[in-house]
Structure 1
């Protein structure tokens, strides 16, 4: 009889706790989606104050979708591009109930631009991302950081310092070593060009005549359309062109260098390959067959990450989320929902 009473008591107790937890969760969800009628709604845009070098600037963010459990903070490439080339994400992630956040880094797009190369350095950008994460209330229970190209460098560096503050990491189309990236550009990609085009490009680069219109005339068909986005340039999606047209050249040249083959800026010697073993959060590396980044090297990165997985886009290039969309987004969504 005593056993029966104890069992009954425990059943009632745990049922009551379960109901309370359920109500609590429901209340949290309702509060999350509720619109505050006391303030003007602005489409999820938030200007975030960030303090750097004892100066306060504001960076632009915009939330797309609502999901308290899955939030993806996007780090754009370049360096110096804008969030806009990510706009194709709107066609895939919201339908799966996945929230993501656009974010223009300092000096990019809608964010403040100090017009000072003093601010164009990797450690400062890492601290900027951390300030943005805090301001948006992103936590280790819901926040994934997706860094594409230069954003992948920033994401890796951020994770090495602040991985305990996020749930997962996505490194999209970026190798963990700039020297190896430069080597791949010189020894593989350059040799795939027509010899006459490569000869002329090298002549222009040797003369440091990067403003020469002929430089882009050669690069677009021989490099950009082969390895950046595998479509005729006249057919490139409007968000890509809009973003590239707004490139902060000062930021790009300071960190990347003026050449499209490898890196000659202050990221030239950046290499975190041997440190990948220290990133313990769940991670996804995305590589593509025709990318400017070596897909085999990116597979190797997956093997070095303790909790890494690899997504390979066989039809994709550097912007694989455009030229191999189905593979890219299926793999990304599966990863986020695991």
Structure 2
């Protein structure tokens, strides 16, 4: 029998915003009846939607039976959008997303939980975990990072492996500030096909996230910038390496062999988090839950046990 699905909105009072705001969520599984702790997921971006993480519903079904909580972070997906805050780096802060996370836990009545963060979601999960939140039992960091400088440098190295016309298109439009040009977007798509999701064709869920992002790139452009290797936003100097030793829960670090989260990017998480395991999926890039779905679920489920 398929696990129950609950969707809703958690009201979220945001300082500096006059209108009512809400966080949209989906729970797959029964939070009250399950014997397993819920797995709360944090999607990437920043500013994306949860949809591309939906393969994780596998963990809610047999044999794992783990309730999985998805939600769209403020400014993305089905949650409240605030395009009027584009460029406001002080507003789009890590603290805002931490506050939203705890607001959702309270709304859903979640006291104890496991946490899985992907990419930017992993960055947010790391920050949350360094503060020793009550109720956090285990942490899964999928395709994430500890230092944005290393991420950008690594992305540039990966770009250099692609055909010269793609490199030239990226360089030209980055230099000219014409990153909305179709030629630039096509070049970014080739980068994604090589290092983000090596599944052909791309699943509808991922395409939907990209469509939503194109309609409102407020958060991504403000916090990150026009692309993965042209980082101009508030996260440009993000670095949590010196704080990682504070994470005191068992942690699983995951990436793919063809991942934009290269071993160079991921290694500090392994070096500095005290109770940690690291596994690299051999046939995956940035989304192993699509590329090696069954193996990914088994690996995560065994860790959560």
TM-score (norm 2): 0.89
**Does the CA-based 8 Å contact 2:145-2:266 persist in structure 1?**
yes
**Residue 194 (structure 2) pairs with residue 208 (structure 1):** no
Residue pair 1:138, 1:166 contacting (<8 A) in 2 also: no
User: 2-side partners of 1:226 and 1:295: how far apart?
Assistant: 16
- Indicate whether 1:61 and 2:20 are aligned: no
Mapping of 1:111-260 within 5 angstroms? Answer: 111-115=79-83, 116-117=85-86, 118=88, 119-140=91-112, 143-186=113-156, 188-221=157-190, 223-232=191-200, 235-247=201-213, 248-260=216-228
CA deviation vs aligned residue, 1:91-131 (integer Å, no higher than 9, x gap): 34422111101111111111112322444221111111111
* Aligned equivalent of 1:45: 7
Alignment equivalent of 2:55, drawn from 77, 88, 100: 88
Q: Does 1:306 align with 2:261?
A: no
**Structure (1/2) with the larger helix percentage:** 1
Q: Show the counterpart of 1:76.
A: 43
SS at structure 1 position matched to 2:279: strand
User: 2 CA distance for matches of 1:130 and 1:168?
Assistant: 16
Counterpart of 1:312 in 2: which secondary structure?
strand
Mark the runs of 5 or more structure 2 residues left unpaired by the alignment: none
Q: CA deviation at 1:157?
A: 1.2
Contact 1:181–1:262, Cα closer than 8 Å, also in 2: no
Please say if residues 287 and 299 of structure 1, whose CA atoms lie closer than 8 Å, have aligned partners that are also in contact.
no
Shift of the alpha carbon at 1:285? 1.1
**Greater length-normalized contact order (CA 8 Å, ≥ 6 residues apart):** 2
Secondary structure at the residue paired with 2:70? strand
Structure 1 residue 243: Cα displacement: 1.6
Match of 2:248, SS?
Answer: coil
2:26, 2:70 within 8 Å by CA — same for their partners in 1?
yes
1:27 is matched with: none
**Partner SS for 1:44:** strand
> Which of structures 1 and 2 has the bigger CA Rg?
1
2:255 match: secondary structure: strand
The structural deviation recorded for 1:286 is: 1.1
Mean Cα displacement is larger for which, 106-115 or 263-272? 106-115
SS of the residue 2:133 aligns to: helix
CA distance in 1, matches of 2:212, 2:122: 20
Moved more, 301-310 or 112-121: 112-121
Q: By how many angstroms is 1:242 displaced?
A: 1.0
Structure 1 residue 53: deviation in Å?
Answer: 0.8
Give the aligned partner of residue 331 of structure 1: 299
What TM-score comes out, normalization by structure 1 length?
A: 0.81
Secondary structure of the corresponding residue to residue 156 of structure 1 = helix
Aligned-residue Cα RMSD (Å) equals 1.8
Asked whether the equivalents of residues 59 and 111 of structure 1 are also in contact (C-alpha less than 8 Å), the reply is yes
* DSSP-derived class of the 2:141 partner: strand
Distance (whole Å) between structure 2 residues aligned to residue 241 and residue 197 of structure 1: 21
Q: Secondary structure at the match of 2:186?
A: helix
Spell out, residue by residue over 1:247-284, the C-alpha distance to the aligned partner (whole angstroms, 9 max, x if none).
13011100110123152210000100121111001111
CA distance in 2, matches of 1:245, 1:109: 10
